[in-house]
Chain A
Amino acid sequence: MSERVPILKIGDVLLVSIQFDLEDQMVMDLQEDLSQRIVDTGAHGVVIDISALEIVDSFVGRMLASTAAISRVLGAETVVVGMRPAVAMTLVELGLSLGGVRTALNLEQGIGELRRSRRNGPVPR
């Protein structure tokens, strides 16, 4: 068994805080675990905190985008929080805009975003 990233439940929000540089397999496991937890808990929101990540490459970027898409299909909105400025600049130059992923500067704002969209209904895309 490989190590897994913990998923915390706070109210109807699932919180994932990536605390260290992940191997690709752990990234894939996380996506699977998260989808399962959304179904098991009926969570309406997911917050992924990447403030500890020193880089986001196309593999992790794709995971963030597909996690947001999968969550939406399962009835949960995803917000990615805490991206470092150097990571954001690098991602854009790499060619990944993460257009379908909602982002917020920090955890507090991310939770606020989710509350707002819950009140106003899901954001149309």
Chain B
Amino acid sequence: MTSSSQPVEESDAQESPITGNGDVVKARQAVRALAQQARLSLVDQTKLVTAASELARNTLSYGGGGTMRVSIVTRAGTTGVKAVFSDQGPGIPDVDLALTDGWSSGRGMGLGLSGARRLADEFTLESAPGRGTTVSVVKWAR
């Protein structure tokens, strides 16, 4: 059985709103605190917080605001941090396009989604036009 098929247990979950610029800063801080608690290396903390910053900004500026849920996860004795960003905004019509490096529908650098995917160990994106977007990232301690 591979470790990815083993059950994931979750603890210390916190949910916070992302409805203003200050909430992006708070989201970064909340992810940093759990990443330290989970004993991620400094580089992995930095990668996860950076990914979270990108996703929180997307939730705010494209999703029209939403929430972040961050938690400690364990699987097969390994600890990690999971951050889930959800909004009920317009959704992403073409997910492959949105995940292309350098593509932005606005004036961004188009590196938020594609960069977050590279920086995280696990990345999922669910989006339905008109019903919103949920993006989750996980970083495991090594």
| Contact present for A21 and B46 (CB under 8 Å) | no
Q: Mark B50-74, 1 if CB is under 8 A from A, else 0.
A: 1001100100000000000000000
Q: Chain A's interface: helix, strand, loop or mixed, by majority?
A: helix
| Contact present for B46 and A94 (CB under 8 Å) | no
Given the contacts A24-B21, A86-B43, A87-B46, A95 and B28 also touching, CB distance less than 8 Å: no
Q: Is A73 an interface residue (CB 8 A)?
A: no
A25 and B47 CA atoms in complex are apart in Å by 23
Among A11-19, A34-42, A51-59, A74-82, which stretch is in contact with chain B?
A51-59
CB neighbours of A84 from chain B (8 A): 46
Interface positions of B from 32 to 50, Cβ below 8 Å from A: 32, 42-43, 45-47, 49-50
Given the contacts A58-B109, A61-B109, A87-B46, A94 and B24 also touching, CB distance less than 8 Å: no
| Contact present for B28 and A55 (CB under 8 Å) | yes
Among B8-16, B114-122, B123-131, which stretch is in contact with chain A?
B114-122
| Contact present for B115 and A54 (CB under 8 Å) | no
- Taking beta carbons and an 8 Å cutoff, which residues of A are in contact with B? 21-25, 54-59, 61-62, 84-87, 89-90, 93-96
A52 and B114 CA atoms in complex are apart in Å by 26
Given the contacts A23-B25, A61-B109, A95-B101, A55 and B118 also touching, CB distance less than 8 Å: no
| Contact present for A94 and B21 (CB under 8 Å) | no
**Cβ distance A47 to chain B, nearest Cβ, rounded Å:** 23
- Taking beta carbons and an 8 Å cutoff, which residues of B are in contact with A? 21-22, 24-25, 28-29, 32, 42-43, 45-47, 49-50, 53-54, 57, 101-102, 108-109, 111-112, 114-115, 118-119
CB neighbours of A90 from chain B (8 A): 43, 46-47, 50, 119
Listed by A's residue number, 25 A-B pairs whose Cβ atoms lie within 8 Å are A21-B29, A23-B21, A23-B25, A54-B32, A55-B46, A55-B49, A55-B53, A57-B53, A57-B57, A58-B54, A58-B111, A59-B53, A59-B108, A61-B109, A84-B46, A86-B46, A89-B46, A90-B50, A90-B119, A94-B50, A94-B115, A95-B111, A95-B118, A96-B111, A96-B115
